[in-house]
Chains A and B, each alone.
Chain A
Amino acid sequence: MDGVDAVFRAISDPTRRILVEELAERDGQTLFELCVRLISRHGLDVSRQAVAKHLDVLEGAGLVRVRREGRYRLHTLDRAPLRAAWDEWFRPLVQPDDPNKE
């Protein structure tokens, strides 16, 4: 699955949308911090393994990048696939006469 399809599949899940939103608030989070945010801020009953799998899906769609910084694994949001989804699918529908559309 490539491009826009992978992005839509990734954000079809509400937990993964929350992960995207939490990373948009603060980049460079550990798995633990993301788990605590889901549980304490959103009342989600999720295991660390489940969150790791959700992050794998987001990473597969290019929305999350994992980098090693020293001994930590940090997750950052890549907004480029969201922009691509907007440009390829949303914008032509909601702004059909937009002179700037590609």
Chain B
Amino acid sequence: MRINLASVFVDDQVKALAFYTDVLGFEKKTDLPAGEARWLTVVSPEDPDGVELVLEPDGHPAVGPFKRALIADGIPFTSFAVTDVSAEHARLAAAGVEFTQPPTVMGPVTTAIFDDTCGNLIQIASMASA
């Protein structure tokens, strides 16, 4: 058994695909019709056969309150690994991405947290200093 998928609940799959590819730099892996929505995944170009991130519709009525509660307290839904948090922060901020936490040394890791524009906060993290 192995883990091959992770998912984020997004409020709009078209907008999410644009953000996760054009802004973050992931690549579309799978895009299949699935009822009213699509089975839509992206992968990192650094690991194209690695874990796929499912951009999952957030239409279920329980998801909205859940996402809003996480955002209110600043809790990231998931975290991505980067080699240099400060460099990624600079790149994404220049692209208009809104950060709730700038790069901050948190013990053994450096982290930053941004808004994915689809209703989630996402953390980026790297080991060692910023």
| Residues on the B chain within 8 Å of A31, using CB | 73-75
A32, B74: Cβ atoms closer than 8 Å: yes
B73, A40: Cβ atoms closer than 8 Å: no
* B side interface size, CB within 8 A: 18
| Residues on the B chain within 8 Å of A73, using CB | 72-74
A29, B72: Cβ atoms closer than 8 Å: no
| Residues on the B chain within 8 Å of A91, using CB | none
Query: Does any Cβ of B come within 8 Å of A48's Cβ?
Result: yes
Partner of A72, one of B74, B104, B105, B108: B74
Q: Does more than half of chain A's interface fall in helix, strand or loop, or is it mixed? A: helix
Partner of A71, one of B71, B105, B106, B111: B71
Shortest distance between the CB of B103 and any CB in chain A (Å): 11
For chain B, residues 104 to 118, give those with C-beta under 8 angstroms from any C-beta of chain A: 104-109, 111, 113
| Residues on the B chain within 8 Å of A72, using CB | 71-72, 74, 100
Which residues of B approach A to under 8 Å, CB–CB? 68, 71-76, 100-102, 104-109, 111, 113
